[in-house]
Structure 1
Amino acid sequence: MKKVLGLLFVVFLGIGLTGGISAQAKEKTSDKKNEVTIYLVRHGKTFFNTTGQVQGFADSPLTDKGIEQAKQVGNGLKKISFDLAYSSDLGRQRNTAKLILAQNKNKTPKISEHDGFKEWNYGGFEGKTNAEMWTPIFEANDLKFDEDWTDYDKLVNKLGDEGVADAIAESDSLKVAETYNDITKRGQAAMNKVVSDAKKKNAKTVLIVSSGSMIPTLLEMLIPGEYQGEAIDNCSVTTLRYKDNKYSVDKINDTQYVD
């Protein structure tokens, strides 16, 4: 009798353990299903990037190097099946997105354009040299501007993303440059659109092509404190994950595909 009871206990225990493991496995699978991976890419190198000119809402074409960078990123991400893709109507962003998707081995989505992914609007500084806009702001904070952006992380750490944007807006003689509130308002609208689309279409992987100042703003807006003034290089990939109404960062400024 004891042997029978012992055998029954082992059987029931085995069923219980199997059920528990199965439930855990199902939970992990469910978590993965609810997760969205976002590949946030800066556009390829442009003519204004090469000449050191301010480039926000103003646009300039991708250079040969910029085109090659976009193709390299596309090749690096070619096995990823993108469910959604976004840029703004700026040619440098749109064309980078097209070049990335052209390398993909899967069926690719149509690129949706949203103003929220545009670069900051630098107002009266658009098209002027970087030095004209940035030197006074750096010097006002006891820092030195150079084309290698050596002290930029120090500027961001001192002023924050908001302080940098508002300093530019304050310095703009035309008073057209965006304030931080202007920038984040459209950025939040853009990310709300991405999340809404992802839920409607059950999307798991998203490509977004944006710009060098807007990407840090999106990071600071979505995950405050994660961005510490790191360079956002042309065609670098910043990877985010979204689950349960929260964002997390995997990588910032990943340049493995273009190095």
Structure 2
Amino acid sequence: MIIINVLEADRGEYMMIIYFVRHGESEGNKKAMIQGQSEYPLTQTGENQAKQVAQALHDVGASTIYTSDLARAKNTAKPIAALQGKKAVESTLLREVFLGPLENRTREDILTSYPHINQIVTSGVEGTETIEALTERCHTQLKKWKKYHASETIIAVSHGGFISIFLMYLFAKENWHTLHRPFRIGNTGITRVRIEGDNVYFDYVNNTSHLAN
């Protein structure tokens, strides 16, 4: 059962809270490149954004900070973890979607070469990560979190494409790819999700108010 709720609700005894955070602006973002799992460092703007999101999350009481092992995510997670006196735990499950031949190219270049593509992260182009593999990643990560953090708050620093897919997975499990994916996550956008048993509550998606200044 999925419940969309923009209000702050009471926390149940066995409720897990997840703050999903997209990484700060990277050099790939600045150049309008489709990055996938290719490595790009944060820009100076991205480093500043990481510090701002760290301040925004400093009092959420997270027991654990998880991060994708790609550099742009790890370097976003560092100030978040440091401000809370913790060390971020790396997880390959939180990596961006692997896009193989589509990586390191602009969206316009990709669509010129593959005019049939509707969604780049789920294009089905040979050599890209399959829907089945993405589903398994979501399933495995959620299962681990439920096992170890059933009544805790955690922070997960990841990537725009994968976060949007994970949110769809929470909606529809293995059928997530059959639905329109409306989520667009900006650099250091925060999404708060609460999970209690089979109930999923979305408090907000892509909150970037910490970047107002």
Output the TM-score relative to the length of structure 2: 0.84
Deviations along 1:188-243, one digit per CA (max 9) or x if unpaired, are 211211111114xxx52100001010011001101238975232100000110011
Match of 2:131 in 1: 180
Deviations along 1:114-150, one digit per CA (max 9) or x if unpaired, are 222110111012112222224566x648xxxxxxxxx
How big is the alpha-carbon RMSD for the aligned residues of Structure 1 and Structure 2? 2.3
Match of 1:219 in 2: 167
**3-state secondary structure, aligned to 1:82:** coil
**Residues 96-175 of structure 1 mapped to structure 2, 5 A cutoff:** 96-104=76-84, 107-108=85-86, 110-134=87-111, 140=116, 165-167=121-123, 169-170=124-125, 175=126
Which is helix-richer, 1 or 2? 1
Aligned residues: 199
Deviations along 1:234-257, one digit per CA (max 9) or x if unpaired, are 000011001123322111111111
Query: Judging changes above 3 Å, is the alpha-carbon distance between structure 1 residues 133 and 239 closer, same or farther for their aligned structure 2 residues?
Result: same
Query: Judging changes above 3 Å, is the alpha-carbon distance between structure 1 residues 76 and 165 closer, same or farther for their aligned structure 2 residues?
Result: closer
**3-state secondary structure, aligned to 1:132:** helix
Query: Judging changes above 3 Å, is the alpha-carbon distance between structure 1 residues 43 and 227 closer, same or farther for their aligned structure 2 residues?
Result: farther
Runs of 4 or more above 4 Å deviation: 225-228
Unaligned runs of 5+ in 2: 1-8
Contact 2:21-2:190 at 8 Å conserved across structures = yes
**3-state secondary structure, aligned to 1:252:** strand
Match of 1:66 in 2: 46
Q: CA deviation at 1:179?
A: 1.5
**Residues 1-259 of structure 1 mapped to structure 2, 5 A cutoff:** 32-104=12-84, 107-108=85-86, 110-134=87-111, 140=116, 165-167=121-123, 169-170=124-125, 175-199=126-150, 203-224=151-172, 228-259=181-212
| The structure with more radius of gyration | 1
Contact 2:121-2:161 at 8 Å conserved across structures = no
Contact 1:165-1:180 at 8 Å conserved across structures = no
Contact 1:59-1:92 at 8 Å conserved across structures = yes
Which is strand-richer, 1 or 2? 2
2: distance between equivalents of 1:90 and 1:164? 20
Unaligned runs of 5+ in 1: 1-27, 142-154, 156-162
Deviations along 1:20-54, one digit per CA (max 9) or x if unpaired, are xxxxxxxx98x622111110000000000001111
Deviations along 1:61-107, one digit per CA (max 9) or x if unpaired, are 01110011011011111112210111121111111111222233xx4
Query: Judging changes above 3 Å, is the alpha-carbon distance between structure 1 residues 71 and 166 closer, same or farther for their aligned structure 2 residues?
Result: closer
Q: Which has the higher contact order (CA 8 A, sep 6+)?
A: 2
Give, as a single letter, the amino acid of the residue that structure 1 aligns with 2:191: T
2: distance between equivalents of 1:135 and 1:79? 46
Deviations along 1:166-187, one digit per CA (max 9) or x if unpaired, are 42x32xxxx2111111112112
